[in-house]
Amino acid sequence: MPHQPRKSVPTYEGRPLPRPDEELVDQGLGFDLGTVMGRRRMLQALGLGTAGVGLAAGGPSNGTPSSSPAPSSSAASSPSAAATTAAGATTEIPEETAGPYPGDGSNGPNVLDDSGIVRADITKSFGDASGTAEGVPMTLELDIKDLANGGSAFAGVAVYVWHCDREGRYSMYSGGVTDQNYLRGVQIADPSGKVRFTSIFPACYDGRWPHIHFEVYPDQASITDSGNVIATSQVALPKDVCEKVYATSGYEQSVSNLSRVSLSSDNVFSDDGGASQLATVSGDTGSGYTVLLSVGVDTSTSAGGGGQAPGGGGPGGSAPPSR
């Protein structure tokens, strides 16, 4: 189905009104708090990183899909497990660049044209490629919310996910893996708006905070044209978990790369420290990690992300990627 142009909505201080047909004073608690202070100050004031946003929104405190049990208190406090709480999808996910290695046809190759791209396990290449990405196991779960319809489950949308491998390389672009297409895949949101991918924990390459890219399309039929994208953003991974993963074999270069960057200095997450993009993570390096994020998508606003960003080919390329 072709992507329909989005209608404009009234804004206040540059932010779209969540209830455009009502008075400014009736826009809801979240909007009122955002008017008084920036997202970062609001998170500090509410003590988020705990259950604050979920309680304020009247929903789950950690954005954990209802089908996935929350980690027990003993597991969360265990030295072998790490858990970091992310804000729920009460606001629209920030629009971000797709970076120089999207593989969606907007900058060179288009893996979304290939049969087999709709898959849950993205650790292996498919089609004529046969490589496998090695690393600490990771399950990525995204909970897509339709903010234009009251935050209901956004069932049926297609979510394309991609990220770098353990060495910081992007398949199809970086030297040594241009003939691979691993760590790229599409899933269709189930009736509860959730998608799940089996993957490996990505590296930290020079100049960027550890992250995962994703694009949301209206449906599976629309994925072959990047112009149909209704949201483009990135998942930020928490520092404590990254440090545990990067202490394992194969991630050695990520240790020094991580030491030179922070969420507040990263060129994507620095505006608010990744407040609404920082994932909830549980698990350990032995059994793997589960990465959870609630993603608010508002089709009544313009999709401002996507497009290319400056940068070279990453490890094995001409220069490290910047996005």
Instruction: Assign 3-class secondary structure to 65-100.
Output: CCCCCCCCHHHHHCCCCCCECCCCCCCCCCCCCCCC
**H-helix segments, the chain:** 29-36, 39-46, 52-57, 73-77, 239-246, 252-259
Contacts of 17 (CB under 8 A, 6+ apart): 9, 10, 11, 24, 27, 31
In a domain, 159, yes or no: yes
124-153 residues labelled b (16+ CB within 10 A) or e (exposed): bbbeeeebebebbbbbbbbbbbbbbeebeb
Over its C-alpha atoms, the chain yields an Rg (Å, rounded) of 19
* Rounded Cα–Cα distance for residues 245 and 288 (Å): 9
What's the pLDDT tens digit per position in 174-206?
999 999 999 999 999 999 999 999 999 999 999
Short-list 176, 235, 205, 227, CA closest to 311:
205
pTM: 0.72
pLDDT at 133: 98
Short-list 247, 114, 233, CA closest to 184:
114
* Rounded Cα–Cα distance for residues 187 and 195 (Å): 6
Placement of tokens 């940068």 in the chain = 311
* Rounded Cα–Cα distance for residues 248 and 200 (Å): 13
- Do the Cβ atoms of 160 and 186 come closer than 8 Å? yes
Low-confidence ranges of the chain (pLDDT < 70): 1-89, 304-323
Q: For residue 42, give the 3-state DSSP assignment.
A: helix
* Rounded Cα–Cα distance for residues 256 and 319 (Å): 17
What's the pLDDT tens digit per position in 84-113?
334 446 799 999 999 999 999 999 999 999
In a domain, 141, yes or no: yes
91-122 residues labelled b (16+ CB within 10 A) or e (exposed): bbbbebbbbbbbbbbbbebbbbebeebeeeeb
Identify the domain containing residue 209 by its residue range: 61-297
pLDDT at 301: 87
Quote the tokens at residue 236.
């930020």
293-315 residues labelled b (16+ CB within 10 A) or e (exposed): bbbbbbbbbebebbbebebbbbb
pLDDT at 104: 98
In a domain, 53, yes or no: no
Short-list 185, 188, 184, 167, CA closest to 176:
167
pLDDT at 52: 33
In a domain, 158, yes or no: yes
Q: Give the mean pLDDT of the chain.
A: 79
pLDDT at 303: 79
Which amino acid, one-letter code, is at 142?
A: L
Tell me the CATH number at 184.
2.60.130.10
Neighbours of 30 (CB within 10 A): 15
Placement of tokens 């202070």 in the chain = 37
pLDDT at 18: 64
In a domain, 124, yes or no: yes
Q: How many domains does the chain have?
A: 1
* Rounded Cα–Cα distance for residues 302 and 154 (Å): 17
In a domain, 227, yes or no: yes
In a domain, 22, yes or no: no
* Rounded Cα–Cα distance for residues 145 and 142 (Å): 10
In a domain, 11, yes or no: no
